[in-house]
Chains A and B, each alone.
Chain A
Amino acid sequence: MSFWLESLIILVVLCNLRVLGSSRLTACIQTVALQGALLGLLPVLAHLDALSARLLLQAAASTVLKAAVFPWLLNRALRQAGLQREVEPFVGFTASLAAGVLFLGAALWLAARLPHAGPEALSRLVPTALFTIFVGLFVIVSRRQAVTQVLGYLVFENGIYAFGMAFAEKQPLLVELGILLDVFMGVFVMGITLFHIHREFDHLDTDRLTALRDS
C-alpha cells in the first residue's frame, strides 16, 4: 500500500514541476486538474481500512470540483480569450524549475522541524504540501497572465488541502469546505472578470493593468 501512496505523493510533486516548467496554458490546467484528482484519491488510499461515507463524499466533492469543474471553467475562459501560452513570464521556465527544486529542499528542511504523527507512508506528505503551497505562491508571483495566476491559487489550495490531510486524522470538514467554497467563488468571479478584462483591453496581461492605477 505504501508503494502506491508514495507514488501518488511523487506524482503530486511532479505535477508541481510541470506547472512550473510548462508554457502551454492548457497543459497547466490539465496538470492542476490531475493534481486535484490525485489529492482527492489520497485520503481514500490512506484510510482504506476505515472507509466511511463522509470520507468518500468529501473526496468525491473535492475531486469533482478540482478535477472537473475548475478546469472546465478555466478552459472556457481560455477559449473565450483565445489564449494559448504564457509568454515572457517574469521568471523563465528553466529558472522556475530550478527554483522548484530549491523549494522542495526548503520544504523538506522545514518539514523536518515540524512534529509528525501518522503512518510512515505519509511522512513525505507534509513537505509535499509545503512544496505545493510554495509553488502556488511562486506561480502567482512570477507569471503575467491572469489565467496562470488563477492556476497558482488552485495549486495553493491543493497545498492547503494536503497539509490538512497530513495533520488531521479526520478532516475538519467545515474548514476544508469553506476553503473550497472560497476558491470556487474566486475561480468563478475571476473567470467572469477575465472575460470582461479581455473584452475591454484585448489582453490578459496583469503586468499591463498597472496602467490603470491613479497617477
Chain B
Amino acid sequence: MRPELLHLPLALFCAPLLPGIINRVKAFFAGRCGPSVFQPYRDLLKLLRKGAVFSRTATWVFRAGPLASLVCAAAALALLPLGGLPALVCFPGDIVLFAYVLALGRFCTVAAALDTGSAFEGMGASREVWFAALAEPALLLGLAAMARQGGELSLTGLYGSLEPAVLLAPGGPALLLVAAALLIITLAENSRIPFDDPDTHLELTMIHEVMVLDHSGPDFGLIQYAAALRLWLLGALAAGLLLPVRTGRPWLDLTAGLCGLCAVALFTGVVESVMARLRLTRVSQLLAAAAAFSVLALMLVRGAP
C-alpha cells in the first residue's frame, strides 16, 4: 500500500483522540479520573444519531456552515504530511492553499453564526475573525521562514526535508521560533486557553463555543469533528517541526509523528490546566508576538545553500 494514502484515513479516524487526551490531562491535573480518551467518539456517534432543531431566523447558510467547515478541514488534511509520510496532494505553493482552505472553513462558520441573529453568536464571530486576522500572517510568515531554510515550497517538501541535522545547521535554531509561533497559533485557532476557554458555561465569555450554540444533532457532531481535525492539522505542523525524526523506515517515522501529535495534545492539556485565560486586550499582543517570532525566524534563518 502506498504510504501517502494512509495518512488521510488515519487522521480522519484518530483525530477525535486528541480532545480526549486533552480532557484526560486536565482531569489528571484537577485530581479527577476524567472521561475515557474515547469519549469524543461516543459523543460524536450519539450526536449523529439525533434529530435537529433549527432557529426560525436561520437560512440555508446556517445549515451549510458545519458541513462546509468539516469539508474544508478534511481538504486541508489532504495537503498535510505527517512524520515523513508525504501528503496526498503536494505541489509548490500548497502552503497557501492550506491556509486559505482553513480560512474558507472559518468564513462558513462565522456566516452560520451570524445567521442566527443572536447577539452572543455575533460577539463570538467578531472575536473569531479578530484572532484569525492576526494569526494568518503569523502562520504564513512562519511557513515562509521554513521555506527559506529548506528551499522548498510545498508542505510535503518542507517537512520531508526536515531532520535533526537541519535544526543543528546554521540558521536552524531560528526554526524553533517558528515552532513556538505554530504552537501559539494552534492554541489560538483551536480556541484553547489562553485565548478561549472551551469549558466555560457563560455565553459572554465564550468565543468558539458561543458561535455554535444554536447547532444541534448531526450538525453539532460535524462541528465537533471538524474541531478535532483542526487540532490535528495545526498540531501536526508544530509537532513535525519539533520532532523531526527521520529513520528512513516509514512506520517508525509515522509513529514518531503520532507521538508528536500526542505531545501537542499533552502540551495543550498542561497549558489549560496551569494557565488562566488572557484578558482580551492581551490576546492581540500574544498573537502579535507569534507574528513577530515568525518574522524574526524569517530574518535569522540562513537561506538555502
Please list the residues of chain A having a beta carbon within 8 angstroms of any beta carbon in chain B. 2-3, 6-7, 10, 13-14, 17, 21, 93-94, 97-98, 100-101, 104-105, 108, 120-121, 124
Asked whether, in the complex, the Cβ of A10 is within 8 Å of the Cβ of B170, the reply is: no
Contacts of A17 in B (CB 8 A): 289, 292, 296
Which residues 266-305 in B have Cβ within 8 Å of A in the complex?
284-285, 288-289, 292, 295-296, 299-300
Contacts of A2 in B (CB 8 A): 168, 170
Asked whether, in the complex, the Cβ of B285 is within 8 Å of the Cβ of A93, the reply is: yes
Asked whether, in the complex, the Cβ of A10 is within 8 Å of the Cβ of B288, the reply is: no
Asked whether A97 and B173 contact (CB < 8 A) given A3-B168, A10-B300, the answer is no
- Given A6-B172, A7-B173, A10-B176, 7 more A-B residue pairs with CB atoms under 8 Å apart are A2-B170, A3-B173, A6-B174, A7-B176, A14-B296, A21-B285, A94-B285
Is B171 in contact with chain A by the CB < 8 A criterion?
yes
Contacts of A3 in B (CB 8 A): 167-168, 172-173
Q: How far is the CB of B173 from chain A (nearest CB, A)?
A: 4
Is B177 in contact with chain A by the CB < 8 A criterion?
yes
Asked whether A108 and B299 contact (CB < 8 A) given A6-B172, A10-B177, A21-B285, the answer is yes
Closest to B167 in A: A3
Tell me the complex Cα distance, A145–B233, Å.
44
Give the interface centre of B167, B168, B292 by most chain A CB atoms within 10 Å.
Answer: B292
Asked whether, in the complex, the Cβ of B171 is within 8 Å of the Cβ of A6, the reply is: yes
Give the interface centre of A7, A94, A105 by most chain B CB atoms within 10 Å.
Answer: A94
The one of B168, B170, B177, B296 in contact with A120, judged by C-beta atoms closer than 8 angstroms, is B170
Tell me the complex Cα distance, A2–B165, Å.
12
Tell me the complex Cα distance, A21–B170, Å.
28
Which residues 145-169 in B have Cβ within 8 Å of A in the complex?
167-168
Asked whether, in the complex, the Cβ of A121 is within 8 Å of the Cβ of B299, the reply is: no
Contacts of B173 in A (CB 8 A): 3, 6-7, 10
Please list the residues of chain B having a beta carbon within 8 angstroms of any beta carbon in chain A. 167-168, 170-174, 176-177, 284-285, 288-289, 292, 295-296, 299-300
Closest to B281 in A: A94
The one of A6, A93, A101 in contact with B170, judged by C-beta atoms closer than 8 angstroms, is A6
Asked whether, in the complex, the Cβ of A21 is within 8 Å of the Cβ of B289, the reply is: yes
Tell me the complex Cα distance, A3–B302, Å.
13
Closest to A92 in B: B285
Pull 13 A–B residue pairs with CB atoms less than 8 Å apart, ordered by A: A3-B167, A6-B172, A10-B173, A10-B296, A13-B296, A17-B289, A97-B285, A97-B289, A98-B292, A100-B292, A108-B299, A120-B170, A121-B170
Q: Say whether chain B's binding surface is mostly helix, strand, loop, or mixed.
A: helix
Tell me the complex Cα distance, A101–B173, Å.
18
Asked whether, in the complex, the Cβ of A98 is within 8 Å of the Cβ of B170, the reply is: no
Asked whether, in the complex, the Cβ of B288 is within 8 Å of the Cβ of A13, the reply is: no
Tell me the complex Cα distance, A17–B299, Å.
15
Q: How far is the CB of B239 from chain A (nearest CB, A)?
A: 20
Contacts of B285 in A (CB 8 A): 21, 93-94, 97
Contacts of B167 in A (CB 8 A): 3
Tell me the complex Cα distance, A2–B289, Å.
26
The one of A94, A121, A124 in contact with B284, judged by C-beta atoms closer than 8 angstroms, is A94
Closest to A10 in B: B173
Tell me the complex Cα distance, A104–B300, Å.
10
Contacts of B174 in A (CB 8 A): 6, 10
Asked whether, in the complex, the Cβ of B176 is within 8 Å of the Cβ of A104, the reply is: no
Contacts of B171 in A (CB 8 A): 6
Asked whether, in the complex, the Cβ of B300 is within 8 Å of the Cβ of A124, the reply is: yes
Asked whether, in the complex, the Cβ of A13 is within 8 Å of the Cβ of B170, the reply is: no
Asked whether, in the complex, the Cβ of B288 is within 8 Å of the Cβ of A98, the reply is: yes
Can you list the 9 inter-chain pairs with the closest CB atoms, starting with the nearest?
A7-B173, A6-B173, A3-B168, A94-B288, A101-B295, A97-B288, A101-B292, A97-B292, A94-B285
Tell me the complex Cα distance, A135–B31, Å.
45
Tell me the complex Cα distance, A3–B284, Å.
32
Contacts of B299 in A (CB 8 A): 104-105, 108
Closest to A128 in B: B300
Closest to A18 in B: B289
Tell me the complex Cα distance, A101–B292, Å.
6
Contacts of A108 in B (CB 8 A): 299
Q: How far is the CB of A142 from chain B (nearest CB, A)?
A: 16
